[in-house]
Amino acid sequence: MVKKVRAHHFRQMKHERTPITMLTSYDALTARIFDHAGTDMLLVGDSYGNVCLGYDSTVRVTLADMVRATAAVSSAAERAFIVADLPFGSYEACPEEAVHSAVELVRAGAEAVKLEGGRRQAHTINAIVQAGIPVVAHIGYTPQSQNALGGARVQGRGDAAEEVKADALAVEKAGALAVVLEMVPAETATDITASLEIPTIGIGAGNGCDGQVLVWSDMAGMTDWQPSFVQVFGQVGQALTAAALDYNEAVRTRQFPDAQHSFTN
Ligand code: KIV
Summarize pLDDT for 106-143 with one digit per residue, the tens. 999 999 999 999 999 999 999 999 999 999 999 999 99
Which mutation among 22, 23, 24, 30 tests ligand 1's pocket best, with the greatest number of atoms within 8 A of CB?
24
Give percent of the chain above pLDDT 70: 100
Query: 150 versus 137: which is more confidently predicted?
Result: 137
Contact call for residues 57 and 143 (beta carbons, < 8 A)? yes
In angstroms, the CA 109 to CA 103 distance is 10
Backbone dihedral angles phi then psi of residue 163, each to the nearest 5 degrees: -65, -45
The DSSP code for 214 is E
Rounded to 5, what percent of the chain is helix, strand, coil? 45, 15, 40
Question: Residue 156: what pLDDT?
Answer: 83
Residue nearest to atom 8 of ligand 1 (CA): 45
Residue 153 has pLDDT above 90, yes or no: no
Whether residue 1 is predicted with pLDDT greater than 80 in this model: the reply is no
Q: Does the pLDDT value for residue 152 go beyond 90?
A: no
Q: How far is the CA of 248 from the centre of ligand 1 (A)?
A: 35
Work out the mean pLDDT of the chain and round it to a whole number. 96
> DSSP string covering 128-169, please?
HHHTT--EEEEEES-GGGHHHHTSS-----GGGHHHHHHHHH
7: number of Cβ within 10 Å: 14
Distance CA 155, CA 161 (A): 8
For 156-174, what is the mean pLDDT? 94
Is 78 known to be catalytic? no
- pLDDT interval class at 151 (50, 70, 90): confident
What's residue 217's pLDDT? 98
- DSSP character at residue 230: P
Q: Atom 2 (ligand 1): residue with closest C-alpha?
A: 45
Residues across the chain: 265
Please tell me which residue, 158 or 10, carries the higher pLDDT value.
10
pTM value is: 0.96
- Angstrom distance (rounded) from CA 38 to CA 134: 21
Q: What is the pLDDT of residue 159?
A: 84
CA distance 97 to 89: 10
| Alpha-carbon radius of gyration of the chain | 20
pLDDT for position 149: 86
Angle, nearest 10°, between helix axes 95-107 and 63-76? 40
Is ligand 1 within 6 A of the CB of residue 215?
yes
> What CA–CA distance (Å, rounded) separates 81 from 201?
14
Q: Residues annotated in the binding site for Mg(2+), as ranges?
A: 46, 85, 116
Start-to-end CA span in the chain (Å):
42
Tell me what pLDDT residue 146 has: 86
Cα separation values, 5 from 85, 123, 157, 212, 237, Å: 19, 27, 34, 16, 30
Q: What pLDDT is stored for residue 148 in this prediction?
A: 85
Whether 45 is in the pocket of ligand 1, judged by its Cβ within 6 Å, is yes
Q: Higher pLDDT residue, 145 or 23?
A: 23
Q: Model confidence at 256, in pLDDT bands (50, 70, 90)?
A: very high
Q: Is the dihedral of CA 228, 232, 238, 241 positive or negative?
A: negative
**155 band by pLDDT with thresholds 50, 70 and 90:** confident
For residues 226-230, give the mean pLDDT. 95
Q: How many CA atoms lie within 13 A of 15 on its CB side?
A: 6
